[in-house]
Amino acid sequence: MSGKKVTKRTLLGMKQKQEPIAMITAYDYPSARLAEEAGADILLVGDSLGMVVLGYDSTIPVTLDDMLHHTKAVTRGAKKAMVIADLPFATAHLPEGEVLKSAARLMQEGLAYGVKMEGGIEIVDKVNHLTVAGIPVMGHLGLTPQSVNQLGGYVIQGKDLPAARRLLDAAQRLEEAGAFAIVLECVPEELAELVTKKVGIPVIGIGAGRHCDGQVLVYHDLLAMAGDFRPSFVKVYQDAGEVIRKGIAAYVQEVKERSFPAENHVTHLKEELIHELYGSSEGETDQ
Ligand code: KIV
């Protein structure tokens, strides 16, 4: 990533030059800084934070206030990378004015570059409403985790012909409505490749194979910090969970055996002060 801020024009240029786009979720100041230092182009404040940071078993309970809190922290840590914040559960289906208010708060208070919205042709009018108002919108098709209950689980989407055609159509309609990019989650590689070819905007895949314009993974997944939950499309690049666990275990052990803090971690009083202080308490006895 160069020194310039990443914008939708940057991403479009990358698609045209076939330069892969690297996106990763970030939920706070340190994860944003580390991801940016590592060269990520886009930081997604995903509502996956509900699962990997807040401990819910889906993204459904995540609120706009949760999203704002985390988006503010991420934007403080990101200087160049584009920061996109998720609109939480069901927001895209509220009346237009409500959707606009929520998206505007993520930009005005959270300082996000734009928002991501889950959904297909049923939300195209809302996408258009936001983009006309100056809000960059990233679409999200395929497996849309906010609809996990309705979908019947975290299952691959677009596997039969009607579903694949619907998804392709939705991608084209989102582009027409003004979306600047689309996340495509858990669809067969061939369908993702076709969508990527058929739309002019960048397509960022997650569990969507090798031919998208970019890839996104959840921070805690690629660093093995999400417990036992490990979808098959995730690659673990470092076991940070193990590093952290070992570090904390060593600390706990040293505290228990009184080897921490050591001489180099403490400060001392001047000799004469020690005498005065200890002297002044001479004769005082505990009852
Ligand atoms: O919430 C999230 O982290 C996401 C990614 C999985 C794309 O939507």
pLDDT bin (cut points 50, 70, 90) of residue 280 is: confident
The average pLDDT across 100-125 equals 98
Q: Residue 271, class by beta-carbon neighbours within 10 Å (0-12 exposed, 13-18 middle, 19+ buried)? A: exposed
From the alpha carbon of 216, which atom of ligand 1 is closest? 7
pLDDT digits (tens, 9 = 90+) for 72-104: 999 999 999 999 999 999 999 999 999 999 999
How far is 248 from 21, CA to CA, in rounded Å? 35
Residue 175, pLDDT above cutoff 70: yes
pLDDT of residue 226: 87
How far apart (Å, rounded) are the C-alpha atoms in residues 99 and 130?
Answer: 8
Residue with CA at minimum distance from ligand 1 atom 5: 46
Q: Which of 84, 89, 116 is nearest to 183 (CA)?
A: 116
144 in ligand 1 pocket by Cβ < 6 Å? no
Nearest 5°: phi and psi at 280? -65, -20
DSSP assigned state of 244: H
Q: What's the pLDDT at 284?
A: 57
What share of the chain in percent tops pLDDT 90? 93
**Confidence at residue 7, expressed as pLDDT on a 0 to 100 scale:** 98
Mean pLDDT of 166-190: 98
Ligand 1 pocket member 25 (CB < 6 A) = yes
Q: Give distance in angstroms: CA of 86 to centre of ligand 1.
A: 8
**pLDDT for 1 beyond 70:** no
Whose CA is closest to atom 6 on ligand 1?
A: 218
| Nearest CA residue ID for atom 3, ligand 1 | 46
Mean pLDDT, residues 117-127: 98
Instruction: Tell me the average pLDDT across 99-124.
Output: 98
Question: Containing H/E element for 214?
Answer: strand 214-217
Task: Please give the positions annotated as active site.
Answer: 185
List helix spans (H) across the chain: 8-16, 29-37, 49-52, 64-77, 96-108, 124-132, 148-151, 161-177, 189-198, 219-222, 240-256, 271-280
- For residue 287, what pLDDT is reported? 44
Average pLDDT over residues 136-157: 95
